[in-house]
Amino acid sequence: MTFVDTSVIIDYLSGVDPVVSFVDEQETLLTSSICVYEVLEGEVFGPDEPDVMACRRSFGRIQALDFDDRIALEAARLQTDLQSRGETLAPRDTMIAATARSTGDKLVVADADFETSALQDVMAVTNLRS
């Protein structure tokens, strides 16, 4: 399985070739419910009349995992670990990374939000745009 961040979903929906190729090659894709919200938030604040249901269907093959108490604890542990190494992540990014880490899958991104040496010391992160 492959765990993707919001940036991958947005690039996929925008037709960014390397991201589309990567996503289309994956058998199973996971994301966080937080990522689903972030993509839908873009729809809400977009220039056209929002249709959040149609937007969600457009990346319906990507299964969302709920952010629950277990993952909240994992996020707090992750942020504590990063802080002890002199780095932190934005709260939503920490929650997304913790969700990916809870699956044992690498986190696949398409932006620089997760490019910290401390994070890469504790989990696998692949950037499709690097």
* Interval 85-114: pLDDT, tens: 999 999 999 999 999 999 988 999 999 999
The reported pLDDT for the residue numbered 92 is 96
CA distances for 122 relative to 15, 87, 119, angstroms: 31, 12, 5
Mean pLDDT score across all residues of the chain: 94
The predicted pLDDT at position 29 comes to: 96
Measured CA to CA, the distance from residue 105 to residue 67 in angstroms comes to: 16
Q: What is the rounded average pLDDT of the residues 49-61?
A: 94
Q: What is the pLDDT of residue 65?
A: 97
How many distinct structural domains can be found in the chain?
1
Model confidence over 7-40: pLDDT tens digits?
Answer: 999 999 999 999 999 999 999 999 999 999 999 9
Strand 29-32 relative to strand 107-109, pairing: unpaired
Per the CB < 8 A criterion, the answer to whether 57 and 36 are in contact is no
Which pLDDT does position 17 carry in this prediction?
Answer: 94
Considering Cα of 60, then 66, then 67, then 70, what sign does the dihedral take? negative
Q: What is the CATH number of the domain that holds 29?
A: 3.40.50.1010
Range of the domain at 45: 2-127
Q: Judging by beta carbons within 10 Å of its beta carbon (0-12, 13-18, 19+), is residue 58 exposed, middle or buried?
A: middle
Q: How many residues does the chain have?
A: 130
Q: Give the model's confidence band at 59: pLDDT under 50 very low, under 70 low, under 90 confident, else very high.
A: very high
